[in-house]
Structure 1
Amino acid sequence: MVKALKIEIFLLCTIVLIGLAVRSRRSLFSSTQQLLFSMLGYTSAAYISFDMIWTLSDGVDGTLGIAVNWISNAVSFSLFAIVCLIWFIYSETVQGSRLLTSRYRVLLVTLPTVLVVVLAFASYWTHALFYIDARGVYRRGVAYMIQPIVSYCYVIYTSLHAFVHSLRVESLRKKAIYRTLAFFAIPALVGGTLQVIYSVPGLCVGIMISMLSLYIIYQEQLISTDPLTGLNNRNRFETYMLSTFSNVDQAEDVYLLMMDVDGFKQINDRYGHVEGDHALQVISAALKEVCSASGGFIARYG
Structure 2
Amino acid sequence: MILLAIFMNIKSHHNKMKFDKKLYLILIISTATIMIVDIIMSYANGKTDFFFREINSTATIIYFILNPLPYIAWSLYVDFYIYKDIKRSKKIRLLVVIPAIISIYLCILSIYNKKIFYIDQDNLYQRGELFWLNAALYYSYSVGTYAQIISKRKNIRKKDYYSLLTFAVVPVMAGILQTIDTSKSYLWLGISISALIIFLNIQNGEISEDYLTGVYNRRQLDLYLKNSIRELKKDELLGMIMIDLNDFKEINDTYGHIEGDQALKYTANILIDSFRTGDFISRYAGDEFVVVMKLESKKDKDECINHLRENLKEFNQTRTTPYKISFGLGYATYRPDLKMTADEFIIHTDKRMYRDKQRYRDKIEVKEKFL
1:185 aligns with 2:168: yes
| Native 8 Å contact 2:76 2:89 kept in 1 | no
| Native 8 Å contact 2:215 2:281 kept in 1 | yes
Within 5 Å, give how 1:1-302 maps onto structure 2.
15-25=1-11, 26=13, 31-96=18-83, 101=88, 105-166=92-153, 168-169=154-155, 174-198=157-181, 199-269=183-253, 272-292=256-276, 295-302=278-285
Structure 1 counterpart of 2:346: none
Q: Which amino acid aligns with 2:61?
A: A
- Please give the alpha-carbon distance, in whole angstroms, between the structure 2 residues aligned to 1:137 and 1:271: 66
- Secondary structure of 1:107 counterpart: helix
Residue 264 of structure 1, CA deviation: 3.7
Q: Gapped runs of 5+ residues in structure 2? A: 286-371
- Secondary structure of 2:138 counterpart: helix
CA separation of 1:77 and 1:175: change in aligned 2, threshold 3 A? same
Residue 285 of structure 1, CA deviation: 2.6
- Please give the alpha-carbon distance, in whole angstroms, between the structure 2 residues aligned to 1:28 and 1:205: 28
**Comparing both structures, which one devotes a greater share of its residues to strand?**
2
- Please give the alpha-carbon distance, in whole angstroms, between the structure 1 residues aligned to 2:19 and 2:190: 24
TM-score between both structures, scaled by the size of structure 1 = 0.83
- Please give the alpha-carbon distance, in whole angstroms, between the structure 2 residues aligned to 1:264 and 1:99: 27
Deviates more, 1:114-123 or 1:136-145: 114-123
- Please give the alpha-carbon distance, in whole angstroms, between the structure 2 residues aligned to 1:116 and 1:261: 51
- Secondary structure of 2:234 counterpart: coil
CA separation of 1:147 and 1:100: change in aligned 2, threshold 3 A? farther
Residue 218 of structure 1, CA deviation: 1.0
- Secondary structure of 1:66 counterpart: helix
- Please give the alpha-carbon distance, in whole angstroms, between the structure 2 residues aligned to 1:277 and 1:99: 20
| Native 8 Å contact 2:19 2:86 kept in 1 | no
TM-score between both structures, scaled by the size of structure 2 = 0.68
CA separation of 1:269 and 1:114: change in aligned 2, threshold 3 A? closer
**Comparing both structures, which one devotes a greater share of its residues to helix?**
1
- Please give the alpha-carbon distance, in whole angstroms, between the structure 2 residues aligned to 1:102 and 1:202: 30
Residue 195 of structure 1, CA deviation: 2.6
Residue 245 of structure 1, CA deviation: 2.3
C-alpha deviations, 1:88-112, integer Å up to 9, x for none?
Answer: 1222222229998487753343222
Q: Which amino acid aligns with 1:242?
A: K
C-alpha deviations, 1:6-35, integer Å up to 9, x for none?
Answer: xxxxxxxxx322332343354599622122
Residue 155 of structure 1, CA deviation: 1.5
- Please give the alpha-carbon distance, in whole angstroms, between the structure 1 residues aligned to 2:222 and 2:118: 60
- Please give the alpha-carbon distance, in whole angstroms, between the structure 2 residues aligned to 1:212 and 1:78: 24
C-alpha deviations, 1:73-101, integer Å up to 9, x for none?
Answer: 22212222222122212222222299984
- CA RMSD, Structure 1 to Structure 2 (Å): 2.8
| Greater RCO, CA 8 A, separation 6+ | 1
| Native 8 Å contact 1:99 1:105 kept in 2 | no
- Secondary structure of 2:126 counterpart: strand
- Please give the alpha-carbon distance, in whole angstroms, between the structure 1 residues aligned to 2:3 and 2:46: 28
For the pair shown, which has the larger CA radius of gyration, 1 or 2?
Answer: 2
CA separation of 1:250 and 1:102: change in aligned 2, threshold 3 A? closer
Deviates more, 1:256-265 or 1:86-95: 256-265
Deviates more, 1:276-285 or 1:198-207: 276-285
C-alpha deviations, 1:243-299, integer Å up to 9, x for none?
Answer: 322332221111223343444445445555444333333333322222247x42121
| Native 8 Å contact 1:59 1:137 kept in 2 | yes
Q: Which amino acid aligns with 2:201?
A: I
